[in-house]
Amino acid sequence: MANVTENREQVVGIGAGAKELATEDMVLNIGPQHPSTHGVLRLRLTLDGERISQAEPIVGYMHRGAEKLFEVRDYRQIIVLANRHDWLSAFANELGVVLAVERMLGMEVPIRAVWTRTLLAELNRILNHLMFLGSYPLEVGAITPIFYAFRERETLQAVMEEISGGRMHYMFNRVGGLKEELPQGWLDRVADAVHQVRTRLPNLENLIHGNEIFRARTRGVGILTPEAIMQYGVSGPIARASGVDFDLRRDEPYLAYGELPVKVVTRQEGDCLARFECLLDQVKVSLDLADLCVDRMRGLPQGPVNQRLPKVLKVPEGHTYAWTENPLGINGYYLVSRGEKTPWRLKLRSASYNNIQALKEMLPGQLVADMIAILGSMFFVVGDIDK
Amino acid sequence: MTRQYPEVQPELPARSRGVIALVEENCTSCMLCARECPDWCIYIDSHKETLPSPEGGRARTRNVLDRFAIDFSLCMYCGICIEVCPFDALFWSPEFAYSEYDIRDLLHEKDRLGGWLESVPPPPAHDEKAEPAKELQVAARPPRPARDAGAPAAAPARERPVREPRAAAVRAIKPPGSLPKRPDPDPDPEGNGSGPRPTRGEPPENVT
Amino acid sequence: MTLDLVLRIALIVGAFLLLPLIVGQTEHKVMAHMQARLGPMYAGRFHGWAQLIADGVKFMQKEDVVPAAADRRVFTLAPAVALVPYLVVLVVIPVGPGLVGRDLDAGLFFVLAVMGVGVLGAVMAGWSSGNKYSVLGGMRAAAQLTSYELPLVLAASSVAMAAGTLSLPGIVSAWQWWWLPWQAIGMVVFFIAGLAELRRPPFDMPIAESELIMGPFTEYTGIRFALFMLSEYAGIVVLSALTTVLFLGGWHGPLLPGVVWTLVKIFILAFIVIWVRVSYPRLREDQLQRLAWAWLVPLALLQLALTGVVKVAFL
């Protein structure tokens, strides 16, 4: 084989060393049905051998018209839809809607509700990250970490289900607070679950993070520059892995984050490994934040967790933009109201949509195998892309 | 991690959103749930019935529920219908094992919805920091002329035997004149239920 | 004489059908328990022992689809090409003293030559499926075969040199315990190269379900797909058996009868194959090439030199 050189980017396989044969570019559609697109993202790749010469993400296969549906739903019904675009960050998605409405109404949310929301948002972040910490190794061929990740998810999901009744679509935010009171002893069970996850997280970390093959597959692969991040509006752990030190929880605190020491996890490398490490460290930070929330909630005075609302909730005329640091990045709702009980327009800025646009920059020049490593490390949810 | 499902049943919390149970007697066919449902998967048919007044006064009319059906193939399990029901006719049950081979069989008519009532658990007690429930504040007020509506005879068939005593108050009709219903159907954080409970077949008290 | 031959062949075919199933079932259960799962529990009542039989029955009932764009004859032939070589290899593998299907003088040579044919099945499947993923997978398989055949042969020839024979029973007979440290490098090289040739994780990039769906097997259904799966597990058995025979002294071992020792060693190696699958991610194909040429080939040559030096200087 003539293709074995020190240059690891040498083409292996089709057309290697066969100059006299006419080679032809091949168009390969990754998706809309493909195991590593987590749904129906489609990438149209032009391949020269296994090297990608062009990549075009084609989105929209799961477009559900969420924004249009918002316009004919009242604010409680919007929550049902809003927690469904990014089904791994349902609580954070609900949060943006109610924060926007509360700001328009000038409504004060009871302090217990604020802290409970903060706690649930962090638990939701951990759940989301654990999912990707399990599925990303699966994409580079390690089949075991996902089971470890899911065991931890199950531990946390038990407390989420106990308080909200849902496992994915919590439907627990309401304008003015939360749907229901906390069950008795729930805080203890949260503290216990957080403790369990924290003690078992090193298992997951040791299994995959230190693995030589995993590092060889991810280090230096798919580097995203801070400039590209700024241009494409990439946010969340992916942006922070490239050294873009921006986190709404610290930089524009909402909920109770202003009173919490939010440690923003950043990396400078911007490669797949850095993105994975960001996620892993964010889980640890969120576990600590969850503990702090539980401690603070124990010291709060007795009080309600929601506001009494009028039978028909109408939001005064005007507009506002509420953004939150969702697990996958910045999630924003631009709410325009004309004083009706439904919004006139509710624009959704979802994290994954912007994040995957950067693929067009990252993929050309990579091998198909690296394409999978990069795609997996962009941590997207197809529903969040297509809305 | 694995549980051998059919042999080992999952332990689901009381708030688990599995299936919606209907207390037919509490339903006044007010249509609030059907209208608030984000994807309109609740179907209600009713007709009016006139009852001659026993003392020769004005005749009373009431709604009679002909059909109440939820299409679980459309339902998004948001729980808004249960939240808006002013007469506590709908409840979440954690029961989840009702998949079907034919999607049309996921349309549960009122008998099937009523059958889920057996699996409705009592709501969990609330956190110590919670405000006392509105119903308790109401109960603390001076009592109105007593009306003995508590008919425990109807209860046993519906509850799980283990939790029998706590469940009694859950499905009571809201006493007339009480405060608006809170989104949570739990009137009783302490769990020592004492509220009145309608007998099956008895017309709801606060219609007309 | 004829009866003896028939009996031997019947035993080999029996082992060929049974051992891969046992390895497959072990993989199901071992992998499950390593991942905090239970694995199959229902088929056959006791801990799902009949799961693979049930799978086989299911595969047989499924429709055998040949894509319109496929090269029909090559497509239907490929599973057989992948499977039969492993059956043939079993004929010359000794399990105990005198217990061998056929003692060939050039047994080692025969084994390595025939095993190489097995990989052709994947290449044929990849080329004939008329599917882009299959082509990519087939090409990866071909590249893998060409680079891993060399360290495999070099490592095996080191043992042949040490024993002074190419006959597999001859090698086992000549084996001494101190060959273990002496041939250790060769054993590791042989086993890794064998894994790569079998396309087992972490060298499963021709199949790579997260990249190429199922690589060369993407378009296969029903019994043909099952044959590919069977050939994978038969390959594990053959690789483990060869490593046992060449490097671990085959039937040598205290107390237990020789056949039992051979089987125990085979299953320990098969367990390692499974274990590696559970714990490692997949290499990229250029990293695999580099591993072969930059590490395994030099190491195999080093082993060859070591064997030669020891052989000339001390024996």
Distances (CA, A) of A229 to A241, A356, C144: 10, 11, 38
Cβ-defined contact of B1 to C41 (cutoff 8 Å): no
Q: Which residues of C touch B4 (CB under 8 A)?
A: 38, 41
Residue A36 and residue C211: Cβ atoms within 8 Å?
A: yes
Question: A334 forms bridges with which residues in the sheet?
Answer: A321, A347
Q: How many distinct helices (H) and strands (E) make up chain B?
A: 5, 5
Query: How much is the pLDDT for A127?
Result: 92
Question: Which run of H or E residues covers position C216?
Answer: none
| Mean pLDDT calculated for residue range C139-149 | 86
Task: Choose the closest CB to A4 out of C135, C284, C289.
Answer: C289
How far apart CA A91 and CA A93 sit, in angstroms, is 5
Is the pLDDT at B167 greater than 60? The verdict is no
pLDDT score, position B137: 72
User: Is residue A180 one of the residues assigned to a domain?
Assistant: yes
Looking at chain B, which residue has its C-alpha nearest residue C37? B2
Mean pLDDT of all residues in C255-283: 87
**pLDDT over 70 at B201, yes or no:** no
pLDDT band at A14, cuts 50/70/90?
low
Residue with tokens 């009949």: C50
For the cut 70, the answer to whether the pLDDT of residue C1 exceeds it is no
Q: Which residue of C has its CA nearest to B6?
A: C42
User: Cα separation of A285 and C262, whole Å?
Assistant: 52
Chain A closest-CA separation from residue C213 CA (Å) = 7
Chain A residues within an 8 Å CB radius of C297: none
Q: Is pLDDT at B93 greater than 60 in this prediction?
A: yes
Residue A122, min C-alpha distance to chain C (Å):
26
Q: How far is B180 from chain A (nearest CA, A)?
A: 9
- Of residues B205 and C162, the one with the higher pLDDT is C162
Between C35, C143, C208, which is nearest A12 by CB?
C143
- How high is the pLDDT of residue C188? 92
pLDDT at residue B204, as a whole number? 42
Classify residue A352: in a domain, yes or no. Answer: yes
Q: How high is the mean pLDDT of chain B?
A: 72
> What distance in Å separates the CA atoms of residue A166 and residue A158, rounded to the nearest whole number?
10
Q: Does C47 score more than 60 pLDDT?
A: yes
C163-199: pLDDT as tens digits: 888 888 888 888 888 888 888 898 999 999 988 888 8
In which residue are the tokens 């084994």 written? C111
Q: In terms of CA atoms, which chain C residue is nearest residue B2?
A: C37
pLDDT higher for B187 or C56? C56
Identify the band that residue A283 occupies on the pLDDT scale cut at 50, 70 and 90. very high
Report whether pLDDT(B154) > 50. Answer: no
CB contacts, 8 Å: C36 with chain B: 1-2
Instruction: Indicate whether A23 belongs to any domain.
Output: no
**Domain containing residue A164:** 75-386
- Rounded Cα–Cα distance for residues C207 and C122 (Å): 10
- Residue given tokens 């690296």 in the structure block: A370
Q: Label residue A22 by pLDDT band (50, 70, 90).
A: low
Q: How many domains does chain A fold into?
A: 1
The chains found to touch C (3+ Cβ pairs under 8 angstroms) are: A, B
pLDDT at C219 exceeding the cut of 90: no
- Is B119 or B199 the better-scoring residue by pLDDT? B119
pLDDT at A266 over 70: yes
Q: Say whether B176 sits in a helix, a strand or coil.
A: coil
- Answering whether pTM is above 0.90, one says no
Mean pLDDT across the stretch B14-40? 89
Residue A247 sits in a domain of what CATH number? 1.10.645.10
Please state the rounded mean pLDDT for residues C194-220: 84
Percent of chain A with pLDDT over 70: 94
User: Which residues of A, range 310-369, sit inside 8 Å of B by Cβ?
Assistant: none
Q: Which two tokens stand for residue A311?
A: 């039978």
Give the pLDDT of residue A23.
Answer: 66
Contacts of B2 in chain C (CB under 8 A): 36-38
DSSP string, A31-87: -SSBGGGTBT-EEEEEEETTEEEEEEEE--TT---HHHHHTTS-HHHHHHHHTTSST
Ranked by mean pLDDT, the top range of A286-295, C90-99, C124-133, C246-255 is A286-295
Structure tokens given for B154 = 């109807």
Q: Which stretch, B170-174, C191-195, C202-206, has highest mean pLDDT?
A: C191-195
Percent of chain C with pLDDT over 90: 6
Rounded to 10°, the helix A90-105/A111-139 angle is 150
Candidate from B76, B83, B127 with C-beta closest to A184: B127
Query: CA-CA distance, C247 to B85, in Å (whole number)?
Result: 76
What is the overall mean pLDDT for chain C? Answer: 86
| CB neighbour class for A148 (10 Å; exposed up to 12, middle 13-18, buried from 19) | buried
Model confidence band, residue B101 (pLDDT cutoffs 50, 70, 90): very high
Given a cut of 60, is residue A356 above it in pLDDT? yes
Residue A183 in any domain: the answer is: yes
pLDDT over 80 (residue A361): yes
Residue A240 counted as domain residue: yes
CB nearest to B184's CB, from A161, A166, A180? A180
> Judging by DSSP bridges, how do beta strands B42-51 and A51-58 pair with one another?
unpaired
Radius of gyration of chain C (CA): 20
The reported pLDDT for the residue numbered B144 is 59
How large is the ipTM?
0.82
pLDDT band for position B146 (50/70/90)?
A: low
| pLDDT at residue B199, rounded to an integer | 40
- Given a cut of 70, whether residue A25 has pLDDT beyond it is yes
Contact partners for chain B, using 3 or more CB pairs closer than 8 A, are: A, C
Among A373-377, C31-35, C311-315, whose mean pLDDT is lowest? C311-315
pLDDT at residue B136 is higher than 90: no
pLDDT tops 50 at residue A243: yes
Hey, where are the domains in chain C? Answer: 67-314
Residues B1, C37: C-beta atoms closer than 8 Å: yes
Q: Tell me what pLDDT residue A20 has.
A: 52
Residue B117: how many CB atoms within 10 A of its CB?
17
Please indicate, yes or no, if residue A58 is contained in any of the structural domains.
no
Q: Is the per-residue pLDDT at B166 higher than 70? A: no
Return the pLDDT at B150.
Answer: 45
Residue B68 above 60 pLDDT? Answer: yes
Mean pLDDT, chain A, integer: 86
Does B2 reach chain C within 8 Å, measured CB to CB? yes
What residues contact A210, with CB distance under 8 A and at least 6 apart? none
Nearest-CB residue to B15 (from A165, A301, A303):
A165
Segment C153-161 mean pLDDT: 89
Query: How far does A7 lie from chain B, in Å, by closest CA?
Result: 44
Per-residue pLDDT tens digits for C71-84: 888 888 889 888 88
pLDDT at A253: 86
Rounded to whole angstroms, the Cα distance separating A383 from A348 reads 12
Q: Residue B74: exposed, middle, or buried by beta-carbon count in 10 A (0-12, 13-18, 19+)?
A: middle
Note whether B36 contacts A174, CB cutoff 8 Å.
no
Domains and CATH numbers, chain B: 1-121 (3.30.70.3270), 130-194 (no CATH)
C-alpha distances in Å from residue A162, one per residue of A180, A208, A331, B16, B121: 11, 31, 26, 7, 13
Q: What is the DSSP string of C179-200?
A: HHHHTHHHHHHHHHHHHHHHT-
A101-105, A366-370, C193-197: which has the minimum mean pLDDT? Answer: A366-370
Q: How far is CA B75 from CA B32, B84, B117, in A?
A: 16, 16, 18
Question: Which member of A84, A174, A302 has the closest CB to residue B183?
Answer: A174
Test C210 with A36 for CB contact under 8 angstroms.
yes
